[in-house]
């Protein structure tokens, strides 16, 4: 027997089939997958009780690697699939893995409506500012002026702030972190999973092979360093001037409120009829 | 308001009241079966409930909306789930998700929504997830004629989604049949693990007629096969002779993977030609190996017929009226009506092509069913197959068909 230290992730990965994974060297998706798994391990959730649903894109390849109930759906549609699962089996912990293009472009409508319903699931948006899987086209979060294969002269589109969007649409837990801050990501995801209602965690991610190369951001480690040096915790922003905040990634939990959860509201509706039936008897 | 108008209003109210009374008053027959006045859309909703529907997701669209309205009222009463989604794309995705979690799930829509659902329908077929889509067809291309009939989605119901995706599509022609085929659609979706489409004509969806519902205790309900093996043995797409394999649901300990990508028997994505070929073969043979179970036709006065009418849905009703009238004049004419339109009843149609001299094909489109007849015959140009086509939102009347019968006779 080789002397390999047993790691937490080993229990949760599908070892027998799906490795090596599809992600490029230097991609931060694997780091975030580690954070997600460790958050689940800390919470000691039963693997049978977790359903992981994703859309299409680099990050959306994640479910195939984990040993849960897993569903890799259509581009942008992870949330409505997840809604059907959650309503049918409300006891399932539903985690949706999605990307910037998947969640806010093709799936933008589903995203805002899932937020509005406040249905109990956690959407983890791995925001790498580009469509990686199709080779590097600009997404709704590609910074204005940046280059992509479809913005060779610099992107003229304004960007979406995923957290602002989620908060405005009615999500009851909204947070941002970066892939570099793996321990913080783990802790925020833990909070998001324990939150009753629709929770959104934006994980700022790095795509050195395409976005990084097109915009001269350096290799994987360089982009990790960028996240470290150019992000600030929410608390620290209180003392910062707008000039100091310019271009900074703000990390932390922006919103955490209690509100009627969708499946519970529906269960209340069903209970009314059952009570009537019992009263009749 | 003039006296005349007032009278009209009173008359209208009385009529509406009478209809309502009829709806409420169920006539109980001796054998305990009920006769009720029912709309086609309502019959679909009631049939689906009888088949054990657990979950409905939909988006409002004329002329299918009554199905959603009725189910929004009925499903919560029995602990079922109803949700109005943000669009038709979300609706088809939600029902697939619900089905993967173990629910019998359905959505209903019309042409424009049916177009939006096509990607999801392909996903349900590729991942072999049971679900039912009801398309109450409306007139025209694009937004078209929301309140007028058409049979323009016959080909879309087969070829609508990209890639080769064999279809099961049922087509009722009476309100009673709406009820029966809604049950059958859910049954077939469960048995064959696929998306089954129920095509209605707008006029059938909105038409009310007296229906003698089948005794519910005699209705056969099919539930998907459940795995009997331990999770580590389970394959989500198990190979077997009839291509019908057990299916687990999320949250039962099987922890399987589902993807719209080409996949192997365990559900994991694959690029290997042999594994992809196996998936494609399976999807195809699931239909072609079970034609006898899937295909249903009605043969009406065909025994001695030398003229046949080939029609579905509402056109078949016009055809029956025309046939009765023609028979009074001694013309030997009959009707062949596919109840399952996809897979197409090739054998029955070949027999008809052999047995009769003339085939009249009335349809509310510009020639969709007729192309299938052309596919099955060599003599296309000899005038044996006569089209009656209409796509202006109006019906093909019995008189029209009768005239064509007489001209052909």
**Residue A12 is assigned to a structural domain of this protein:** no
Q: Does A274 touch chain B (CB under 8 A)?
A: yes
A72, A84, A273 ranked by CB distance to B98: nearest: A84
Q: What is the pLDDT of residues A75-93, one digit of tens each?
A: 999 999 999 999 999 999 9
Strand B131-137 to B105-109 pairing: parallel
A-chain residues within 8 Å CB-CB of B93?
Answer: 73-74, 77, 80-81, 84
pLDDT of amino acid B213 = 87
A72, A79, A84 ranked by CB distance to B57: nearest: A84
Q: Min CA distance, B190 vs chain A (Å)?
A: 17
Q: Does A90 touch chain B (CB under 8 A)?
A: no
Q: Does A67 touch chain B (CB under 8 A)?
A: yes
Confidence band (pLDDT; 50, 70, 90) for A276? Answer: confident
Token representation of residue A263:
């499946």
Contact B191, B244 (CB under 8 A): yes
Q: Min CA distance, A57 vs chain B (Å)?
A: 12
> How many C-beta atoms lie closer than 10 Å to residue A178's C-beta?
26
The mean pLDDT values, 10 residues at a time, for chain B of 409 residues are: 58 48 46 82 97 98 98 97 98 98 98 98 98 96 95 97 96 97 98 97 96 87 94 90 87 97 96 96 94 97 97 98 98 98 97 96 97 86 88 97 96
Q: Is A216 left (phi over 0), alpha (psi -120 to 50) or beta?
A: left
Q: Output the domain CATH number for residue A121.
A: 3.40.50.970
Give, in order, the Cα–Cα distances in Å from B331 to each of A94, B200, B301, B317, B322.
65, 30, 11, 18, 11
B76, B81, B123 ranked by CB distance to A88: nearest: B81
Could you give the 3-state DSSP secondary structure of residue B398?
Answer: helix
Token representation of residue B384:
């044996």
Sheet with B168-170: strands ordered across: B81-84, B55-58, B105-109, B131-137, B195-201, B168-170, B340-342
Q: Does A185 touch chain B (CB under 8 A)?
A: no
C-alpha B311/C-alpha B325 separation (Å) is 17
Q: What is the pLDDT of residues A228-243, one digit of tens each?
A: 999 999 999 999 999 9
B93 contacts A77? CB cut-off 8 A: yes
**Rounded-to-10 torsion of CA B264, B266, B267, B272:** -20
C-alpha A148/C-alpha A155 separation (Å) is 7
Nearest CA in chain B to A64: B257
**Residue A116 is assigned to a structural domain of this protein:** yes
A-chain residues within 8 Å CB-CB of B100?
Answer: 71, 81, 84-85
With the C-alpha atoms ordered B404, B405, B408, B409, is the resulting torsion angle positive or negative?
negative
Peptide bond into A20 cis (omega under 30): yes
Residue with tokens 């925020």: A188
Range of the domain at A189: 18-234+242-280
Nearest CA in chain A to B248: A69
Contact B335, B321 (CB under 8 A): no
Task: Give me the phi and psi of B223, to 5 degrees please.
Answer: -110, 145
Nearest CA in chain A to B126: A73
Q: Does A74 touch chain B (CB under 8 A)?
A: yes
The overall average pLDDT reported for chain A is 96
pLDDT of amino acid B122 = 98
Contact A161, A173 (CB under 8 A): no
Q: Does A73 touch chain B (CB under 8 A)?
A: yes
The number of CA neighbours under 13 Å toward the Cβ of A117 is 23
ipTM of predicted complex: 0.97
Cβ–Cβ pairs < 8 A, chains A and B: 132
Confidence band (pLDDT; 50, 70, 90) for A3? Answer: confident
Find all residues with CB under 8 Å of A189, minimum gap 6, and list them: A35, A36, A39, A122, A124, A201
Contact B107, B65 (CB under 8 A): no
Q: Min CA distance, B240 vs chain A (Å)?
A: 23
A67, A73, A270 ranked by CB distance to B260: nearest: A73
**Residue A7 is assigned to a structural domain of this protein:** no
**Total of domains in chain A:** 1
3-state secondary structure chain A: CCCCCCCHHHHHECCCCCCCCCCCCCCCHHHHHHHHHHHHHHHCCCHHHEEEEECCCCHHHHHHHECCEEEECCCCCHHHHHHHHHHHCCCCEEEEEEEHHHHHHHCHHHHHHHHHHCCCEEEEEEECCCECCCCCECCCCCCCCCCECCECCCCCCCCCCHHHHHHHHCCCEEEEEECCCHHHHHHHHHHHHHCCCEEEEEEECCCHHHHHHHCCCCCHHHHHHHHHHCEEEHHHHHHCCHHHHCCCEEEEEEEECCCCCHHHHHHHHHHHHHHHHHHHC
B76, B253, B268 ranked by CB distance to A17: nearest: B268
Q: Does A275 touch chain B (CB under 8 A)?
A: no
Q: Min CA distance, B103 vs chain A (Å)?
A: 7
Interface test with A, best of B74, B83, B93, B128 (most A CBs within 10 A): B93
The secondary element (H helix, E strand) that includes residue B325 is: helix B313-328
Interface test with B, best of A40, A54, A58, A81 (most B CBs within 10 A): A81
Nearest CA in chain B to A62: B257
Q: Does A72 touch chain B (CB under 8 A)?
A: yes
**Residue A106 is assigned to a structural domain of this protein:** yes
Domains of chain B with bracketed CATH? 9-218 (3.40.50.970), 298-408 (3.40.50.920)
Q: What is the pLDDT of residues A141-199, one digit of tens each?
A: 999 999 999 999 999 999 999 999 999 999 999 999 999 999 999 999 999 999 999 99
**Residue A91 is assigned to a structural domain of this protein:** yes
**Residue A105 is assigned to a structural domain of this protein:** yes
**Residue A1 is assigned to a structural domain of this protein:** no
Sheet with B208-212: strands ordered across: B27-28, B34-39, B208-212
Could you give the 3-state DSSP secondary structure of residue B4?
Answer: helix
pLDDT of amino acid B13 = 56
Confidence band (pLDDT; 50, 70, 90) for A18? Answer: confident
The secondary element (H helix, E strand) that includes residue B407 is: helix B398-408
Q: Does B301 touch chain A (CB under 8 A)?
A: no
Q: How many residues does chain B have?
A: 409
The conformation of residue B53, written as its DSSP 8-state character, comes to -
Nearest CA among B170, B200, B315, B364 for reference residue B323: B315
Farthest-apart Cα atoms in chain B, separation: 79
C-alpha B262/C-alpha B271 separation (Å) is 7
C-alpha A188/C-alpha A169 separation (Å) is 20
**Residue A44 is assigned to a structural domain of this protein:** yes
pLDDT of amino acid A2 = 64
> How many C-beta atoms lie closer than 10 Å to residue A237's C-beta?
15
A17 contacts B123? CB cut-off 8 A: no
């Amino acid at each position: 027997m080789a002397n390999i230290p047993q790691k937490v992730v080993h229990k949760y990965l599908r070892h027998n089939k799906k490795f090596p994974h599809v992600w490029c060297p230097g991609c931060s998706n694997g780091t975030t997958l580690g954070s997600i798994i460790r958050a689940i391990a800390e919470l000691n959730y039963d693997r049978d009780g977790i359903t992981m649903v994703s859309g299409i894109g680099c990050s959306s390849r994640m479910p195939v690697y984990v040993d849960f109930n897993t569903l890799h759906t259509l581009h942008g549609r992870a949330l409505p699939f997840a809604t059907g699962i959650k309503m049918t089996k409300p006891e399932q912990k539903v985690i949706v893995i999605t990307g910037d293009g998947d969640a806010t472009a093709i799936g933008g409508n589903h995203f805002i409506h899932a937020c509005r319903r406040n249905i109990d699931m956690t959407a983890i948006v791995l925001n790498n500012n580009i469509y990686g899987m199709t080779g590097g086209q600009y997404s709704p979060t590609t910074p204005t002026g940046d280059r992509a294969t479809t913005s060779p002269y610099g992107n003229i589109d304004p960007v979406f702030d995923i957290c602002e969007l989620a908060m405005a649409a009615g999500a009851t837990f909204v947070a941002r972190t970066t892939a570099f801050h793996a321990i913080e990501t783990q802790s925020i995801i833990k909070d998001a999973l324990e939150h009753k209602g629709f929770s959104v965690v934006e994980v700022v991610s790095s795509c050195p092979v395409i976005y990084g190369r097109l915009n001269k951001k350096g290799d994987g480690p360089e982009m990790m360093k960028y996240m470290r040096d150019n992000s600030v915790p929410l608390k620290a922003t209180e003392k910062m001037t707008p000039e100091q905040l310019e271009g900074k990634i703000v990390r932390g939990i922006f919103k955490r409120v209690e509100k009627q959860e969708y499946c519970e509201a529906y269960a209340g509706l069903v209970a009314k009829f059952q009570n009537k039936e019992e009263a009749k008897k | 308001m003039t006296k005349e108008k007032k009278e009209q209003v009173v008359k209208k109210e009385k009529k509406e009241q009478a209809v309502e009374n009829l709806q409420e008053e169920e006539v109980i027959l001796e054998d305990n079966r009920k006769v009720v006045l029912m709309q086609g859309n309502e019959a679909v909703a009631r049939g689906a409930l009888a088949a054990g529907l657990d979950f409905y997701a939909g988006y409002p669209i004329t002329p299918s909306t009554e199905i959603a309205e009725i189910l929004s009222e009925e499903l919560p009463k029995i602990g079922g789930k109803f949700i109005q989604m943000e669009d038709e794309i979300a609706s088809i995705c939600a029902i697939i998700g619900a089905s993967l979690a173990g629910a019998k799930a359905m959505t209903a829509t019309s042409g424009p929504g049916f177009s939006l659902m096509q990607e999801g329908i392909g996903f349900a077929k590729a991942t072999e997830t049971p679900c039912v889509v009801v398309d109450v067809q409306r007139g025209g291309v694009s937004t078209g004629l929301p309140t007028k009939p058409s049979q323009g989605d016959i080909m879309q119901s087969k070829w609508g989604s990209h890639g080769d995706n064999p279809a099961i599509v049922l087509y009722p022609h009476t309100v009673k049949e709406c009820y029966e085929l809604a049950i059958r659609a859910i049954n077939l979706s469960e048995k064959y693990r696929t998306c089954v489409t129920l095509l209605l004509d707008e006029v059938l969806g909105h038409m009310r007629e007296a229906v003698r519902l089948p005794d519910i205790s005699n209705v056969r309900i099919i539930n998907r096969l459940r795995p009997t093996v331990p999770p580590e043995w389970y394959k989500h797409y198990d190979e077997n002779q009839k291509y019908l394999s057990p299916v687990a649901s999320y949250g039962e300990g099987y922890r399987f993977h589902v993807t719209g990508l080409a996949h192997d028997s365990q559900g994991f994505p694959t690029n290997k030609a042999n594994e992809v070929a196996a998936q494609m073969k399976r999807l195809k043979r699931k239909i072609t190996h079970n034609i006898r179970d899937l295909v249903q036709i009605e043969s009406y006065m065909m025994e001695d017929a030398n003229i046949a009418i080939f029609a579905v849905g509402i056109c078949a009703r016009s055809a029956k009226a025309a046939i009765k009238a023609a028979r009074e004049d001694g013309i030997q004419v009959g009707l062949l009506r596919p109840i399952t339109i996809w897979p197409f009843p090739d054998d029955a149609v070949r027999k008809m092509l052999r047995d009769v001299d003339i085939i009249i094909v009335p349809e509310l489109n510009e020639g969709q069913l007729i192309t299938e007849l052309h596919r099955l015959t060599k003599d296309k140009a000899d005038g044996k197959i006569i089209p009656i086509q209409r796509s202006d939102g109006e019906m093909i009347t019995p008189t029209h068909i009768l005239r064509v019968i007489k001209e052909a006779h």
